[in-house]
Amino acid sequence: MASSLASFGKLLFGISEKAPESVIGIDFGSSSIKVVELKRENDMAVLQTYGELQLGPYATLDVGRATNLGTGRLTEALGDIMREAAVVSRSAGVAMPYAASFVAVIRLPTKDTNALPAMIPIEARKYVPVPVAQVTLDWFVIPEKKGQEAAASATRVLLAAIHNEALNKFRMVIEQGKIDSSFNEIEIFSTIRSSVPNQADTVMIIDIGAATTKLYIVSDGIVQATHSINAGGQDLTSSLSKSLEIPFKDAEEMKREVGLTSVDNPRIERALSFPLERIFMESKRVLDGYERETSVTSVSSIVLSGGGATMKGLEEYVEQTLGRRIVRANPFSKIMYPAFLESTLYEIGPSFAVALGVALRRLEEG
């Protein structure tokens, strides 16, 4: 992560302590929990173990379905994945779901940074869709890029908020799971840390989750714009299930194993194309709008992350739709691991962008 973000605040970057030798990154997704355990060896991050556990069955739903588990069932699932992945460490960093947070770039009519602490809680009421008393706020002044000095009377601020209810819920799960977590971080920042190949570039991250697709435009390692689309991996599976008249669980398996690469059954590609068109036409609108508004900045590439990004044939589809260079998130490239795992970790990489990113931050503390 760019060094300019190091003082972002307690909510996004926690209170640093001396890092232990072995740490865990925990990603509470809507359809699964992912964990990554890293160890420090000779100033290098080394993979110890990793694992993913589907949450659908804990809510008596199919694998691939988005869930909203209570504290008890979520604690049970966390214990199960820690045991099944043979996780040893209990020192963790935890990524908060984007759905439990709000992130936006706002413009304040002042260049006096001393006035911002008083202004931001008032301005936040215009952007945060719930009463400000129900969230924990944090913010960061976005440095001006060359060519953007024209807005001499304004300050751009990255505003972040997490619902207090969600914050308390995940803290309780961590406590009941006997995990020592030094911070909570909104998942967007974990993804940036693990998956943006060159922090100096301006890129769009398209994070395809089970229930939603999140769009982040990042420049110099700093979030410049965000957008959320109410469609994700479970919508692809539902469309496939209805089109082929097969159970959701069978459609989920077909989506994972075949995706957009089927030549024997064109109905599969047609079924998947309906929700995909919605996701990527909206992505194109956001991308084009950002470039129009910031004529000095062009987006060099698209980074695909999240569980939905592992679908076969997706990279080619997105390249044709958006006409940009496509980069598949490869977070494990940031660490050391046994050579025999290379193909496996590349395939699952987009799913683990958040868990690995938050583990890297925990390991780097101190």
For 250-256, the CB contacts below 8 A with 24+ separation are: 252/62, 252/63, 252/64, 255/311, 256/310, 256/311
Per-domain residue ranges for the chain?
Answer: 3-240+249-364
What pLDDT is recorded for position 322? 94
Helix (H) or strand (E) holding 225: strand 222-229
Instruction: Write out pLDDT tens, residues 176-220.
Output: 999 999 888 999 999 999 999 877 789 999 999 999 999 999 988
| CATH number of this structure's domain 3-240+249-364, picked from the four choices 3.20.10.10, 3.30.360.10, 3.30.70.1560, 3.30.420.380 | 3.30.420.380
Task: Indicate the average pLDDT of the chain.
Answer: 88
Are 353 and 329 in contact, with CB atoms under 8 Å apart?
Answer: yes
Q: What is the pLDDT of residues 93-151, one digit of tens each?
A: 999 998 888 888 888 988 888 899 999 999 899 888 888 899 999 998 888 766 555 45
pLDDT number for residue 201: 86
Has residue 273 got a pLDDT over 50?
yes
Judged against a pLDDT cut of 60, whether residue 41 lies above it is answered with yes
pLDDT per residue as tens digits for the range 297-351:
789 899 999 999 999 999 999 999 999 999 999 999 999 999 999 999 999 999 9
Q: If you write DSSP's letter for every residue of 73-115 in order, what string do you get? A: HHHHHHHHHHHHTT----EEEEEEPGGGEEEEEEEES---GGG
DSSP code at position 300: -
What is the phi/psi pair of residue 98, to 5°? -60, -35
pLDDT of 241 strictly over 70: yes
In this prediction, residue 334 carries a pLDDT of 94
Which pLDDT does position 10 carry in this prediction?
32
- The predicted pLDDT at position 129 comes to 87
pLDDT at 268 over 80: yes
Looking at residue 246, its pLDDT comes to 96
| Over residues 32-46, mean pLDDT | 94
- Give the model's pLDDT for residue 6: 25
Distance CA(80)–CA(23), nearest Å, equals 18
Q: Which residues contact 328 (CB under 8 A, 6 or more apart)?
A: 303, 304, 309, 315, 346, 349, 350
At residue 20, the pLDDT reads: 56
| Per-residue model confidence as pLDDT tens digits over 314-326 | 999 999 999 999 9
> What confidence score (pLDDT) does residue 105 get?
87
Q: Is the pLDDT of residue 5 over 60?
A: no
Whether pLDDT at 296 is above 80: no
Confidence at residue 148, expressed as pLDDT on a 0 to 100 scale: 55
The Cα–Cα gap between 307 and 357 comes to 15
